[in-house]
Structure 1
Amino acid sequence: MTRDGVFEAPGRINLIGEHTDYNDGFVLPIALPHVVRVTAARRDDGVLRLSSRQAHGVAEVRVADLVPGAVTGWAAYVAGVVWALREEGHPIGGFGLLVDGRVPLGAGLSSSAALESATALAVTELSGVGLDRRELARIAQRAENEFVGMPCGIMDQSASLLARERHALLLDTRSMETEHIPFDLAPAGLALLVVDTKAPHRLVDGEYAARRRDCHRAAELLGVPALRDLTGAEQDLPDRLARRVRHVVTENERVARVADLLRAGRVREIGPALTESHVSLREDYEVTVPELDVAVEALLAAGAAGARMTGGGFGGCVIALAAEADVEACAAAVRAAFAGRGFGEPECWTAVAAAGARRAGDVPAR
């Protein structure tokens, strides 16, 4: 067992299945080439020492003193993983951890889950704690839920730890069953364009929690364990709750439709489902903002086959399926639309499906 090592975990884009993971639903993310890298070294003094190339200062705390609230800011995501592992009886001692994050912050691409996943892989492997990737994802989710205080689902950590290169990850968030579905756009002459709108997240934590409460209240009123157990989208509920239900039920249906098309090699045909998802997120779930909506409208007008916001909403990124030959025109259309509305300049780039978390230098699974 070695005492040190370098571990990296990717951010993610969710192709479709937004806000279904905390309703025991289905999601279909890919991992990104952008990673958070954690350089880890075991310590014998029981101290957790945390530093980052992107942030000033160093956080130090004894692992025996870790409780929610003991560490704040970016370091809480790291300390929370160590806390969650120890809470479940795993012998994690002191560590020095240096973080180098390359996942864009504030873009809704799950930099926090990437940080948690790289940390979980590093401290368990170097401590000789044998946990499978699904269990590591659950531990990382617990760290974010209970230590950081963000009520996220398990999609982001699962994508970061379980994804495969050139594949999308179909995840049943209730059973944790997975399927790796081919997602390689280049042979079809297609690309996945990502538009980081740079829109500041507006009340995202509180609004995210409010949507989750709406869903849980609707499930309670309808007498089902979770909204994934409903057989129809239209339910006799107060208007706001009825719209939340409609989004979740139809979004699960869209995930199934897109997965079927990808299995059949009909990737060009997934575009309409992406656009339908955005409309539902705008009208029924109410998590878009003007920058997201303007980007989608501009992309579709420029010839994209489909476009939608990705992530929790209230800012962040839009994705679009487009012909490779149309990518530049689509990006130019978004920039022009943003300039016309007085928005800041967006950042546009293309994404490919990358591998999940690994020790630096390891050959990823395919």
Structure 2
Amino acid sequence: MKELIQESQSRFPNEDIRGVQSPLRICPIGAHSDFQNGKVTGLTIDASVDMVYSPSDTGYIQVYSMDFPDKEHFHVKTRSDYIPGFWGNYLRGAVLAIQEDYVLKTGLNGVISGKLPIGGLSSSAAVTTAYLMALCDVNGIQFSKMDLIRWSHWVETEFIGLKNGILDQSANILSEDNRLMLMDCLDWTYDLVDQGTDWPEFEVIIVHSGITKQLIGTDFNNRVDESHVAGWLMLEHGGYDLPKLDDVRFRHIDRSIYDAERAHIPDRFGKRADHFYTEQDRVEEGAKAWAAGDINRFGQLMFQSGESSFYQYESGIPEMKLIFDTLKETEGVYGARPSGAGYRGAVIGFINPKFKEAIKAAVDAVYPKAYPELADAYHISFAKQADGAHYVDLQGGQV
């Protein structure tokens, strides 16, 4: 954050300088369930997208990224279009999302940066939250956490074009240290589950694969469509009323219907249903294990979630499967699963900190040999659990 302050002061000398930290998130259990209105878990870590900003009475927004070239510059009253591949899209979308409910008059000057390689930890949700909070702050807009989730989700689905759910936004905004967020994506209710008293010290390992391809260019949306078809086929074969295909969600289809009709659902469509209904069981069991302080059981459920993501949801790539298999076989890893939809990004896990160096060495011994073209691109990081998105008091020296 200090580097951002210095950069901001050199570009935009202003005494009224403010800050926001928006952490990266992981989903230990609940993969590929949010866009089916299922239940998911999430927590945030002490790696974040940080933004330093100050209000601009001109109404112009100027933001520099420390991680990407160029700057974003436009007036709040200008409707800026989506530009494929441009990092400023999330800022443009944030402005439009808030303008659905409020009139923005005050612009801002800002500098933003993220920690850890981009991909797999929902940096997109983190950066969007940072923009939303900064824009609301300089415009004096009072908002709820649910407002932030709703706006951020609109940016990704309506402006960016992904068919995802609310997991990323919910975890980024609602999470609290030492608690597990349990979000019901059907009605947007949630619980923050306290760690059981026997829960040991742990850290999160993030093994970034070096693959950074954006989700919109992968099979992510195809998997969502296949899930719609699977649900539709179950209803059709069972003789139930059929909604529009895009309106079909597994969560709206009772488990008894899945049990009765599963044998009639062909090939990949049946696998998509298998993943969802078993993953929902794992979410429920995981919340109980967290509350009971049973990290070993929780870790087993993470491994099961990872296996189902690879073999039932079929979202994996060989690079991430190798990382997952290596972690699964390494002492000191409680559990692991792919993150970032499995098409690019990271594999995350819960580990015993005493084995940190040995775990890193195990991955280093395998991955660059198997994929020498990624030897300089993959990255191993460790993090601790932390609070969700929040403002930072820069004037009071709390950096």
Same fold (TM over 0.5): yes
Instruction: Tell me the equivalent position of 1:27.
Output: 40
Give the match's secondary structure for 2:54: strand
Asked whether 1:332 is paired with 2:358, we answer no
Which amino acid in the other structure matches residue 114 of structure 2? R
Given that residues 13 and 311 in structure 1 are in contact (C-alpha distance below 8 angstroms), is that contact kept between their aligned partners in structure 2? no
Give the gaps of 5 or more residues in structure 2. 1-14, 236-242
Asked whether 1:251 is paired with 2:269, we answer no
Instruction: Tell me the equivalent position of 1:298.
Output: 326
Within the candidate set 101, 124, 142, 1:130 is matched to 142
Shift of 1:167: 1.8
Asked whether 1:357 is paired with 2:357, we answer no
Given that residues 108 and 316 in structure 1 are in contact (C-alpha distance below 8 angstroms), is that contact kept between their aligned partners in structure 2? yes
Which amino acid in the other structure matches residue 300 of structure 2? P
Shift of 1:70: 6.7
Given that residues 40 and 123 in structure 1 are in contact (C-alpha distance below 8 angstroms), is that contact kept between their aligned partners in structure 2? no
> Equivalent residues in 2 for 1:300-319 (5 A)?
300-303=328-331, 304-319=333-348
Which amino acid in the other structure matches residue 256 of structure 1? E
Shift of 1:247: 0.7
Shift of 1:184: 8.6
Q: Which moved more, 1:218-227 or 1:167-176?
A: 218-227
Asked whether 1:85 is paired with 2:98, we answer yes
Give the Cα separation in 2 of the matches to 1:11 and 1:53: 17
With over 3 angstroms needed to count, the CA separation of the structure-2 counterparts of 1:84 and 1:202, relative to structure 1, is closer
Within the candidate set 269, 285, 291, 1:241 is matched to 269
Given that residues 197 and 292 in structure 2 are in contact (C-alpha distance below 8 angstroms), is that contact kept between their aligned partners in structure 1? no
With over 3 angstroms needed to count, the CA separation of the structure-2 counterparts of 1:185 and 1:118, relative to structure 1, is farther
Query: What per-residue deviation string (whole Å, max 9, x for no partner) do you get for residues 4-36 of structure 1?
Result: 521121111111111101000111111121111
Within the candidate set 263, 283, 289, 2:311 is matched to 283
Query: What per-residue deviation string (whole Å, max 9, x for no partner) do you get for residues 21-52 of structure 1?
Result: 10001111111211112223333333222322
Shift of 1:91: 1.8
Give the Cα separation in 2 of the matches to 1:159 and 1:203: 19
Give the Cα separation in 2 of the matches to 1:186 and 1:260: 13
Given that residues 36 and 99 in structure 1 are in contact (C-alpha distance below 8 angstroms), is that contact kept between their aligned partners in structure 2? no
Give the Cα separation in 2 of the matches to 1:125 and 1:311: 30
Instruction: Tell me the equivalent position of 2:240.
Output: none
Which amino acid in the other structure matches residue 227 of structure 1? F
> Equivalent residues in 2 for 1:215-230 (5 A)?
215-223=227-235, 225-229=248-252, 230=254
Q: Which moved more, 1:156-165 or 1:303-312?
A: 303-312
Which amino acid in the other structure matches residue 328 of structure 1? E
Given that residues 191 and 321 in structure 1 are in contact (C-alpha distance below 8 angstroms), is that contact kept between their aligned partners in structure 2? yes
Give the match's secondary structure for 1:22: helix
Give the Cα separation in 2 of the matches to 1:99 and 1:5: 11
Given that residues 166 and 354 in structure 1 are in contact (C-alpha distance below 8 angstroms), is that contact kept between their aligned partners in structure 2? yes
Asked whether 1:321 is paired with 2:350, we answer yes
State the TM-score, normalizing by the size of structure 1: 0.90
Instruction: Tell me the equivalent position of 2:203.
Output: 191
Given that residues 182 and 190 in structure 2 are in contact (C-alpha distance below 8 angstroms), is that contact kept between their aligned partners in structure 1? yes
Asked whether 1:201 is paired with 2:213, we answer yes
Give the Cα separation in 1 of the matches to 2:319 and 2:127: 27
Given that residues 307 and 321 in structure 1 are in contact (C-alpha distance below 8 angstroms), is that contact kept between their aligned partners in structure 2? yes
Instruction: Tell me the equivalent position of 1:261.
Output: 289
Shift of 1:329: 1.8
Q: Which moved more, 1:151-160 or 1:70-79?
A: 70-79
Q: Which moved more, 1:187-196 or 1:108-117?
A: 187-196
RMSD: 2.5
With over 3 angstroms needed to count, the CA separation of the structure-2 counterparts of 1:69 and 1:201, relative to structure 1, is closer
Q: Which moved more, 1:307-316 or 1:246-255?
A: 307-316
State the TM-score, normalizing by the size of structure 2: 0.83
Give the match's secondary structure for 1:89: coil
Which amino acid in the other structure matches residue 96 of structure 2? W
Higher Cα Rg: structure 1 or 2?
Answer: 2
Give the gaps of 5 or more residues in structure 1. none
Q: Which moved more, 1:195-204 or 1:329-338?
A: 195-204
